[in-house]
Amino acid sequence: MSENDNNQKKTDSADQNKDLKSQEPLTEAQVTSKKPVVLLTILILMILTIIGVFGYMVRDAMMESAIDESLTAEKMNAAEEKLQSETFAPETGAMMSAAQDNSFFSKLAEKQPVSMLVIGDIFGTGAGASDGSNWVNLMSQGLTADFGSEVNVQNLSLPGGNDAYSAYVTLMNEATGHKDMTYDAVVVALGYYDDPFSFNLYYEGVLRSIRNCYPNACVIGLIESASITSPDGNSDETALYARTLLEHYNGIVANMGEAFSVSGEAPESLTDDGILPNAKGQQIYADWIVKKINEKINDEPAGNAGDDSPVNPDATLFDHYYYISSEHFLRQDDNDYVININDISSLGAETTGMMGIDYDYLNEKNTAQILVDRDIFSGMTVEFEGAAPERHIRIVKNNAIINQELTVSFATKEQADGFHGIIISGNLTSSTKEEKHDKLPIPPETTAPETEPETEPETETIEETTTPETAAKETAKAEETSAEDKDNKKASNKKDDKKSSDSSSKTNETKKSDEKSDGKKSESKKASDKPKKSDSSSKSDNSNETAAQVQPVETTTAAETQASVQETAPSQAAFPTVPDTSGTEHVILSDPSASGTYSVSPGQGIDISQWNTIGPTAG
C-alpha cells in the first residue's frame, strides 16, 4: 500500500469521527447559547409577518376607497348626465339652427300652427272677469286673426300665492314629463306674490330654464297690471327686475301697467277687485301681447338670439333639478309618507340642496312637516280659506342633506291625500320666511273638534265634585253628632239637592242659549263664506275680516260656562304657530320705503340704483 493511500484512509477516518461527533446531542450550555438567536429570528419573522399583513390591509383599504370614490364619482356623473339628458334639450348647432328655422315668428309669418305655454300665478290663469273672459283665449284668437295661424295654448298657471319658484317647478315638470312636446313660445306672468329681494334670482332661473328646455321658444314676460292698480302687492317693485332680465334674454316685455295707462280707460275701471283685470282688462291684456309680438317680428324676424350668460351666477343652480313624486314614497299610514336613500338614489335624484313641497291647501289650518333622517328639518302651517283644494308649490328650506330617509308628515289624512311631491334643486339662497317646528303635527284623534257639546261634561264635573264633599261632611257629622243631628243633616241634604237641581236647570238653559248662538254664528259664517272674488288672496283677506267679526261673538258666553269649558275641554297641543301673514306665503324682510328715501311711482317699477343702495341683494 502506498503512502498516499494511507494518508487518504487517515483523512476518511478523521471525517467519519467528525461526523459522529456532530451527531452527538448538544450540551446544555450549547443549547442555552443558541436560544437568543432563535428567539430573535422568530421575533423578526413575526414582525415581518405583521408588517406584511398590515401593509396588505392598508393597500386593500386604499384600493377599496379608491374604487368607492371612483364608483361614487362615476355614479354622480352618470346621475347628472341622466338628469341633464332628461331635463334639457342638447344645445347643439343643429338644434339652434332648427330654432331659427322653426321659430315662433317664422311659423306665424308662414301661417303654420304654433304652440304656446303659459306659466305663472293667478294673473296667468286669466281670472278676474265675471263674464268668463280670459286673456289667454283672447290672445289666441288675436294671433289667429292677425297671422292666420292655428294657436294651441297649454296654460299651467297656478292660483294666487304661488310665485316664481312655483312657476319654475311647473315648467320643469312639464319639460321632464312631456319630453316629446315642444313649445314655440312661453308666456310668464309673475311678480305680484314674489318677494322683491329674491325675485331677480328666481325670475332669472325661470328664464334660464325656458332657454334650456325649449331653446327655440320665444319668451314673453308680463309685468302685471297690479303694478298700478294694487300697489300693496309687489308687481311695481318687481317690474324693473323683470324688464331688465327679459331684455337680457331677448324676451318680449309686455307691461300691462303701461297698457292700462295708455288704454284711454281709467285703470281702476279695468278691474273689479282692484287686483285682477275684468272683461275690459282681459281684452287689453290680449291686445297688448299681440301688439308686442308684432313689434318683435318687425324688429327681429330672424330668430331668438340672446345672451345666455347668467346675470346672477347663482342662477346656474336652477340647472340642477329633480322632482320626487308622491308615487315613489311609501305611505306608512294616513298621515305620513317616507322614502329611503336607496330609492332616492335609484331615481337618479340628488340628495342635497334646496327642498320644496307640492301639495294642495284645504279650507283649514294646513300643516306639513319634513323630517330628514328622522330629525325635524322644517315645516309650514298655512291658514287657508278659498277654492279648495288649491295647489301650491313652496320652498321648504335649503341645505338639505339626506343620508338615510326622507319623511313628509301632515296633520290629517285629507291633507296628506293632497300631497304631490318633493322638489330637490340646487342649494339656492332664499329670503322666504322659515317656519321652524319642533314637534310633529297632531294626530287626528287627539285634535279637539272646533265645536262640541261642552255642557254635559260641565254638569258631570259639578255633580262629581259636589257628591264627594257631601259624603265627607256626612261621615264627619255621623261620628260627632246624635241621631237628631243626623235628621237635621238629611234636611240640609234635601236643600243641597234642590240647589243642584236648580244649577242643572240653569245649565240646560245656558246650553240652549249657546246652541241658538252657535246657530246664528253658523248662518253668519255660511253667508260670509260665499266667494266674492276669484283671487284667492282676496278671499283670504275677506276670511280674515270675517274671522275678526265672528270672534267677539264667541266670547259672549257667560263667565262661569267659559271657565268650566276650559277646564273640561280635552287637552289640545297647539300646532306650531307662525305669525299671521293674512294669507300670503312669503314676507318681505324689510321695507326700504320706510327709510323715507325710497320712492316708487305707480306703474314705473323701481329705481334700480335706489334699490341696490337701500335694499339687500339676493344670492
- Which triple of cell numbers denotes residue 91? 344645445
- Choice among 61-75, 161-175, 329-343, 493-507 with the minimum mean pLDDT: 493-507
The answer to whether 341 touches 402, Cβ cutoff 8 Å, is: yes
Q: Alpha-carbon distance 593 to 236, whole Å? A: 13
**Sequence-distant (≥ 6) Cβ neighbours of residue 167 within 8 angstroms:** 119, 120, 121, 157, 158, 188, 190, 206
289666441: which residue's cell? 140
Bridge partners of 365, per DSSP, are: 383
Specify if 142 maps to a domain.
yes
121-153 pLDDT tens trace? 999 999 999 999 999 999 999 999 999 999 999
Nearest to 194 by CA among 165, 169, 214: 165
* 68 φ/ψ angles, rounded to the nearest 5 degrees: -60, -45
Tell me the HSE value of 506 on the side-chain side, using a 13 A CA sphere: 11
The amino acid occupying position 237 is E
Q: Alpha-carbon distance 321 to 425, whole Å? A: 4
The answer to whether 86 touches 179, Cβ cutoff 8 Å, is: yes
Confidence class for position 211, pLDDT limits 50, 70, 90: very high
Here the CATH number for the domain that contains residue 174 is 3.40.50.1110
User: Which of the listed residues 426, 446, 466 is the one where a domain comes to its end?
Assistant: 446
- Which triple of cell numbers denotes residue 604? 314705473
User: Which of the listed residues 446, 471, 499 is the one where a domain comes to its end?
Assistant: 446
513-536 pLDDT tens trace? 444 444 444 444 333 343 333 343
User: Global pTM?
Assistant: 0.60
Residue 266 shares a structural domain with residue 324: no
Residue 272 shares a structural domain with residue 337: no
Residue 280 shares a structural domain with residue 324: no
Q: Give the chain's domain count.
A: 2
The three state secondary structure string of 327-351 is: HHCEECCCCEEEEEHHHHHHCCCCC
Q: Alpha-carbon distance 342 to 208, whole Å? A: 31
Residue 284 shares a structural domain with residue 339: no
Whether the per-residue pLDDT at 384 is higher than 80: the answer is yes
Specify if 364 maps to a domain.
yes
Residue 286 shares a structural domain with residue 372: no
Q: Which residue has the higher pLDDT, 31 or 533?
A: 31
The amino acid occupying position 66 is A
Specify if 111 maps to a domain.
yes
User: Which of the listed residues 282, 316, 350 is the one where a domain comes to its end?
Assistant: 316
Bridge partners of 357, per DSSP, are: 394, 422
Specify if 65 maps to a domain.
no
Residue 294 shares a structural domain with residue 331: no
Specify if 547 maps to a domain.
no
Q: Report how far apart, in Å, the C-alpha atoms of 407 and of each of 454, 548, 549 are.
A: 37, 36, 39
- Which triple of cell numbers denotes residue 338? 317616507
Residue 292 shares a structural domain with residue 326: no
Confidence class for position 56, pLDDT limits 50, 70, 90: confident
Q: Alpha-carbon distance 561 to 457, whole Å? A: 11
- Residue 437's SS3 state is coil
pLDDT at 64 (0 to 100): 65
Specify if 377 maps to a domain.
yes
Residue 257 shares a structural domain with residue 129: yes
State the average pLDDT over residues 494-518: 45
Here the CATH number for the domain that contains residue 370 is 2.60.120
Q: How remote is the C-alpha of 202 from its chain's centroid?
A: 15
Q: Which residue has the higher pLDDT, 550 or 285?
A: 285
Q: Alpha-carbon distance 619 to 617, whole Å? A: 7
436-483 pLDDT tens trace? 555 666 554 444 444 444 444 333 333 333 444 444 445 444 444 444
Residue 210 shares a structural domain with residue 232: yes
Specify if 48 maps to a domain.
no
pLDDT at 471 (0 to 100): 47
Residue 154 shares a structural domain with residue 251: yes
Nearest to 166 by CA among 157, 175, 174, 176: 157
Residue 115 shares a structural domain with residue 259: yes
Specify if 522 maps to a domain.
no
Whether the per-residue pLDDT at 355 is higher than 70: the answer is yes
Strands across the sheet containing 336-340: 330-331, 336-340, 405-410, 365-372, 375-383
Neighbouring CB atoms inside 10 A of 534's CB total: 22
Give me the domain span that covers residue 167: 93-316
Element (H, E) at 353: strand 352-361
Residue 361 shares a structural domain with residue 307: no
